[in-house]
Amino acid sequence: MVMGLPTLSPAKKATWLCFFFQDPQTREASFFPWFLVFASEIILSFIWILNQAFRWHPISRTVFPERLPQDDSLPPLDVFICTADPTKEPTSDVMNTLLSAMALDYPPEKLHLYVSDDGGSPVTLNAMKVAWKFASWWLPFCTRYKIVCRCPKSYFSISESDDVDFDGSFEFLADKKMIKEKYEAFEEGIKRVKEDQNNSGDTTVRRSQNHPPIIEVIQENSSSEIEQVKLPFLVYVSREKKPSHPHHFKAGALNSLYRVSAVMSNAPYILVLDCDMFCNSPASARQALCFHLNPKISPSLAFVQFPQKFHNLSKNDIYDSQHRSAYKVLWQGMDGLMGPVLSGTGFYIKRESLYGNYKIKDTDLELQQYVGTSNEFIKSLNQNCTTDSVTVGRTLPLNETLLLASCNYEIGTQWGKEVGFLYGTVCEDVHTGFILNCNGWNSVLCDPPQAQFLGNGTTNLNDSLVQGTRWCCGLLDIGLSRFCPLICGPLRMSILQCFCYAQLTYFPLYCLPLWCLAIVPQLCLLSGIPLYPKVSDQFFFIFLFIPLSALTKHLVEVLSTGGTFRKWIIEQRIWMIVSITSHLYGCLDALLKKFGLKDASFLPTNKVENEEQTRLYQMDKYDFRTSNMFLVPMVALLSINISCFIGGIYRVVSVGNWDQMSIQLLLTSYIIVFNYPIIEGLLIRKDVGRIYPSLPLVLTSNILATTIVSTLYSLLNKV
């Protein structure tokens, strides 16, 4: 998940307040369009006010890992890696993430890794055994030569690696060549595993939603071929799934790992990673412990969040996959309050913070109703991890761990309600972080100069919009629930922190004013109805100052965080595209779910690389090979704006009322110019990524545009 968020630029928060600058006679003659525009401005103003909380007290932090205690005194660490679909999440990439986590700069006897395979695929299990064998060579190589990039795929793909200090060493070059050969054999081994599985006729899609729990400790291999080294504790976990039982998506998988790890290793701190978010540096664990072991903040510190960064983004990042605003502005602003929101991956969380209120339960019966019937898990609540406890965990009866990963274990308990990662939304990270803040826990953002984790960002429009729809639905779910930050939060946290969470949960509402401002002023321009002050009016410059200042502020923000003028244009464009598509469909999904008309769904983002998509992305060309569900609104609204602009110019020239219509002409021009790539994709481009003018697209777009124009135009004429 998280989760990254769509860019929240200040330009979106500009409130026009056109009503107060209108001539009274004009205002009375155009009440209906004014009412729509004014309602849009109220929504924009509401979100803008909430957004100011992020700017109240932004901070940045520095860590000093050299001040940590010796390795013998460091606490144990559990690592959770989640994967769900081997067809969309390449097994090779999942194993590279696993290897990078195994190679963290941390005592191996204190490092325990758990891989959650929600697809229940034998491919993942067998690939882990292949990865274990390769790790016996890879980890000593990284340690011996102090390799910084410990993801083998990334290490062997970069032209200038981090081994400059050993470039002249014959021993190093020989070892590197040998390790590269082992890595190639490792990749071939994974391919053979997948081919064998395909030849066996197994249908992973069918099994992914219906399979028993599977838990297997990847055992040490005593073969003489393998270098005898101490490797971290590694466990494969596939929780039970039944079609009739709710699985709660990633939150359910994490809670299953949470319980199984509690009886096997029970480390006090947990690192959570998505399967494509590999460790780019081995230092993240020690950096996180600089906060967790700080006696001044540790008692109330729930988690340390590292920003999500990506290795496959182009210079201009036309889909804004890096989420610049979220990680460079918003999260730093929250860090100055009670801390950033939980972001789905790349965070070190204190195990105890997810226990809920178990300490107030007086009897064993109450405790069993709270966390379940496993005596071993209940025992782990008050027991710290030791070497002996891990050894016992290895030898626990299989039935005990399988019980903890079963579908029925959570029935009648508080799992997902008060204990563990919380259910009720696909944005379980934001929901869990919010409740942790409500319970008095804080968090911190750790953003060192070198990216500690790197993942795969979305490099095509379809994945970007599908992902955005999922986020918007999940976040608005929270805003419409009893956990609404503006209702649930003020008595339990600072009002500014409430505003931050409220802004995150309500930003999908941008779709309402965006649709209005992309249609109503344009039709009024065509009808000759002025909505904004005249250029000659004494209030014109005050009115114009508001949107211009917001656009300028956004530009300054982009430039000050390492962006460019072109990046500013891209963020404006992608905000408009996402708002009229993902935000709209996310809001509709949330409302349908609220009224029980639709079940929640979670589609993993496709992580399989497509050479054609990558080529278009690197050329800064939008790949419009997406569903008509997303294309129709973009084409329809752009058609309306172009038509109204042409008709408006003709009307203004013939009537001569430039003074009254200048703002509406500028607004229409702004939308057309910033969305020029859509025009280019529809009329100019001939490559595979263009918008194919298919009959369904043309008909649906024309029907939508005609319906909107005819309906509003008739209403305008009646008013």
- Helix intervals (H) in 112-241: 122-144, 152-157, 170-199, 204-207
Predicted TM-score (pTM) above 0.85: yes
Number of Cβ within a 10 Å radius of residue 221: 13
Picking from 124, 125, 121, 119, the residue whose alpha carbon sits closest to that of residue 208 is 119
Give dist(CA 305, CA 514) in Å, integer. 32
Q: What is the pLDDT of residue 16?
A: 44
For 629-653, what is each residue's pLDDT tens digit? 999 999 999 999 999 999 999 888 8
Half-sphere exposure in the Cβ direction for 293 (13 Å, CA): 18
Tokens encoding 107: 């005592």
DSSP for 591-625 reads: HHHHTTSS-----PPP----HHHHHHHHTT-----
Give dist(CA 443, CA 188) in Å, integer. 42
Q: CA 648: distance to chain centroid?
A: 41
Q: What is the pLDDT of residue 3?
A: 42
Give dist(CA 633, CA 643) in Å, integer. 15
For 258-281, what is each residue's pLDDT tens digit? 999 999 999 999 999 999 999 999
The residues annotated as belonging to the active site are: 118, 429
For 331-353, what is each residue's pLDDT tens digit? 999 999 999 999 989 999 999 99
Number of Cβ within a 10 Å radius of residue 345: 26
* Non-local CB neighbours of 95 within 8 Å, separated by 6+ positions: 127, 128, 130, 131, 186, 190
Number of Cβ within a 10 Å radius of residue 243: 7
Residues of the chain with pLDDT under 50: 1-16, 160, 205-206, 222-224
Q: CA dihedral in degrees (707, 711, 717, 719; nearest 10)?
A: -160
**Buried b / exposed e across 590-626, counting CB within 10 Å, b at 16+?**
beebeeeeeebeeebbbbeeeeebeebbeeebbbbbb
Ramachandran angles phi, psi of 106, nearest 5°: -155, 145
88 is in an annotated binding site: yes
89 is in an annotated binding site: yes
Percentages helix, strand, coil for the chain (3-state, rounded to 5) are 55, 10, 35
Q: Write down the residue that tokens 């496709």 correspond to.
A: 606
Give dist(CA 36, CA 42) in Å, integer. 10
For 23-64, what is each residue's pLDDT tens digit? 555 555 567 888 888 899 899 999 999 999 999 999 999 999
Q: What is the pLDDT of residue 596?
A: 79
364 is in an annotated binding site: no
